[in-house]
Amino acid sequence: MADTTYDVVGIGNAIVDIIGRCTDAFLAEHGASKGHMRLVDADTVVKLYQAMGPGIEISGGSGANTMVGVASFGGKSAFIGKVADDELGRIFAHDIRAAGVTYQTSPSTGGQPTARSLILVTPDGERTMNTFLGVSPELNHGEVDAALVAAAQVVYLEGYLFDRPEAKAAFRQAARIAKSAGRKVSLTLSDAFCVERHRAEFLELIRADVDILFANESEILSLYRVATFDEAARLARADCELAVLTRSAKGSVIFSGETAVTITPEPVARVIDTTGAGDLYAAGFLYGYTAGKPLEQCGRLGSIAAAEIISHVGARPETPLAKLAAQKGL
């Protein structure tokens, strides 16, 4: 795959996170399901923001976080996602470019504002997300740069984009471009509720085009409507070349045909904020995969990145991941 300019190109929502702390009671009072992402409208995001405590703004977006992670390991990544020409949009564009990711999607003018996610972190470090998508789903066919997608070894698709029909079309287009160029298509299921909303279409896309599937335990159980991890894993390995399944504190398992590689998680002194754990695991895995490393090393790189991200607030690495990988001899 020496004819590629990029290791990975990601397509996803372009979001700025507004992160604050709250109690479990606050989540219940505001009807937010702990640990999940829910979409909220413009009025709700304003009301919830008024009710929540002081925040910290950090660029986010699941696929964008993953591309930043790949760059932090030293990989070459690009991102496609839509912001508006407003302050949060400028913050998003600045941060992802400053992290070394190629980002060329032009901002929209007028209309909807840049997406934001109110991320409420409970004392146990678990994050619950309330996302107002704003302009983000207005990523239309024309904005998926075919040359860019074809120039990357792997295209990485964020499941959250399925929540809007316009974005879904862009999503499918990207998968087709990658396939015709002989590239790999990877998908993250993003959230169990998101899978619940789009199960049939996810399965269709996975069976038709997806080579590398990322999911956590609750997402993969929801996708196949089964009760056990082993059963879900059996179905996933039949549907994709690689099924990369994360299990929080239990680590992760990578399924490739008849092979299953189990990865123990990196130890973490104290979990501060789980936002971005899955995104950064995918970053480490994809960096290793596109560098031609064995699956066990890809998984370890994922675990290292996930451990870094849950040790602080926000879903963008604070320590260069290349340095952490080198310390572990990877």
User: CB atoms < 10 A from the CB of 183, how many?
Assistant: 23
117 forms part of the interface with its own copies (CB under 8 A): no
Q: Considering only residues 9, 32, 52, 154, which one is a binding residue for its own copies as defined by CB under 8 A?
A: 52
91 forms part of the interface with its own copies (CB under 8 A): yes
- 147-150 long-range CB contacts below 8 Å, 24 or more apart? 148/6, 148/9, 148/78, 148/80, 148/102, 148/104, 149/9, 149/80, 149/174, 149/177, 149/178, 149/181, 149/183, 150/177, 150/178, 150/180, 150/181, 150/183
95 forms part of the interface with its own copies (CB under 8 A): yes
Over the Cα atoms of the chain, what is R_g?
Answer: 18
99 forms part of the interface with its own copies (CB under 8 A): yes
Q: Which stretch binds its own copies (CB under 8 A): 5-13, 53-61, 178-186, 261-269?
A: 53-61
Least gap, CB of 54 to its own copies (angstroms): 4
Q: Which stretch binds its own copies (CB under 8 A): 3-11, 45-53, 126-134, 161-169?
A: 45-53
Q: Which stretch binds its own copies (CB under 8 A): 94-102, 197-205, 223-231, 278-286?
A: 94-102
Q: Which stretch binds its own copies (CB under 8 A): 84-92, 128-136, 257-265, 275-283?
A: 84-92
Which spans of this chain sit near its own copies (rule: CB under 8 A)?
18, 20, 49-50, 52-59, 68, 86-88, 91, 94-96, 98-99, 113, 314, 316
